[in-house]
Amino acid sequence: MRAWINRQSLLVDYTLSALARHGGRNLGLFVVYSGIVFVLASTMLFTDALRREARLLLAHSPEVLLQKLKAGRHAYLTREDLESLGQVRGVSRVEGRRWGYFYDPVAGANYTLMAPGVDPPDRGRIDVGDGVARARGLAVGDTLSLRSAAGGLFVLVVGRVFSAESSLVAADLVLMHPTDWEAFFQLPGDVFTDAAFTVDNPQEVRNVARKIGERLPEARVILREELLRTYASLFDWREGILLALAGIAAAAFAILAWNKASGLSADERREIGILKAIGWDTRAVLTMKMWEGALISGGAFAVGFLAAWVHVFHLEAALIVPVLEGWSVLYPRFVLTPAVDAVSLLTLGLLTVLPYTLATLVPAWRAAVTDPDQMMRGTE
């Protein structure tokens, strides 16, 4: 074993000095390779971080949500509905929620207007998300005029602007007093947009949801785990599509690598010829060339991955955001938590290092098996 390690370390030593001698030749390849790793790694790091954010966010959402439907369209729940649903065995709490969408032509954006059941703002005052504040240039104490469902102007005073940390959930949010909400949307006091259920026993959530659905057969019942599953599938799919597209670039790169590795320079030919003439066998030359590929791969992988890390976690993934996040006027600004898992690294390695190594194997072997005199004369 020690002999093997000694042999490999000497080969690495020789390969490094050879690379230093022919540095310029591999520079272009190295840059393109790092670029491919950068795109793939940015995609993976970003979607992994988004998945994690979604998981953390939904961990605090209610286990079951219910929306009433009439003829397949959304309908309001009544207080009687909520009382009936609250009696379902397994439901520890049911909360009727009141919210609606409002299109603001000034900002060209949709707001979510909500009347919280607990601790609402005072009458005539609102709390706004940082996206709304940004779109309308609002600060605490400013007034916001919105055209209500009745057609009149509704003037509200900003009592609080939510911090940027809550942007992921609150960018488009406007919280108001329930009475203001009813007056704004011209709705009676005992209707609710949807209902949120708390179920204490996680093993029973599915059964409880089934029983809730039986009480209001036309309603749509949404489970938290379904939301999580949908988010995971959505991010996985977007990530996969981008990776598949980047895979085409990786394939083009593999062809470039093959081409590059096939065309040895006169210096390299002479060097291999001399090595073989002084007693290196085919396997040693092949191993040396494989080490050359591994060192280029490893270097490009490290550079590309580090650049992707900086891009995603320090530069807000500016280059890939439009493809992966979706689009909205009031898009939340948020900072992702840096993290990486072993599976992502292994997957990235498989998708980048393996194609390169395979693409350079045959040219490396061709160089290794050529006769030394042909190599030195330059006839091969």
Partner 1 sequence: MIFQKSVLALLFASAAGALGALAAGPHALAVWRHWDLETGRARQLRLERRSSLVSTGMSLLLVVQAVTLLLFVFNADRMASQFVGAMCAVGTLQVDGFGFPALIARIAVFFGSGIWLAMNAVDGRCRDYPLTRPKSLLLLALIPLLALACGLELAYFRGLRPEVITSCCGSLFSSGSPAVTGDLAAWPVERAMPVTFVVLGGAACLSAWVARHGRGGLALGMAGLLAFVVALAGVVAFVSLYVYEDPRHHCPFCLLKAEYGYRGYAFYVALFAATAAALGAGALAPFAGRGRSPASAARLQSATRALGGVALGGFLLVLLMTAWQITASGLTLFPHG
Binding site for partner 1 (CB under 8 A): 44, 225, 228-229, 232-233, 236-237, 239-241, 243-244, 247, 282-283, 286-287, 290, 343-344, 346-347, 350-351, 354-355, 357-358, 361-362, 365, 368-369
User: Which one, 47 or 167, has the nearer CB to partner 1?
Assistant: 47
3 state SS of 127: strand
- What is each CA distance from 282 to 96, 123, 139, 278, in whole angstroms? 77, 85, 74, 12
Both structure tokens of 248:
């085409």
Nearest-10 Cα torsion for 358, 364, 368, 370: 110
Collapsing DSSP states into helix, strand and coil, what is residue 145?
Answer: strand
Question: In angstroms, what is the minimal distance from the CB of 349 to partner 1?
Answer: 9
- 3-class SS at 64? strand
Backbone angles phi, psi at 236, to 5 degrees: -60, -45
Place of tokens 């042999």: 7
Q: Least separation, in Å, of the C-beta of 134 and partner 1?
A: 34
Q: Which is nearer to partner 1, 138 or 234 (CB)?
A: 234
Q: Which is nearer to partner 1, 48 or 81 (CB)?
A: 48
How near is the Cβ of 234 to partner 1 at its closest, in Å? 11
Q: How far is the CB of 362 from partner 1 (least distance, A)?
A: 7
- Tell me the three-class secondary structure of 332-380, residue by residue: CCCCCCCCCCHHHHHHHHHHHHHHHHHHHHHHHHHHHHCCHHHHHHCCC
The token pair at 133 is: 């504040």
CA distance linking residue 157 with residue 142, whole number of Å: 6
156 or 351: CB nearest partner 1: 351
CB of 35 to partner 1, least distance (A): 18
Question: Least Å distance between CB 254 and partner 1?
Answer: 11
Q: Which is nearer to partner 1, 46 or 313 (CB)?
A: 46
Looking at beta carbons only, is 169 or 361 nearer to partner 1? Answer: 361
Residues 6+ apart with CB under 8 A from 217: none
Which residues, including other chains, have CB under 8 Å from residue 116's CB and lie 6 or more apart?
175
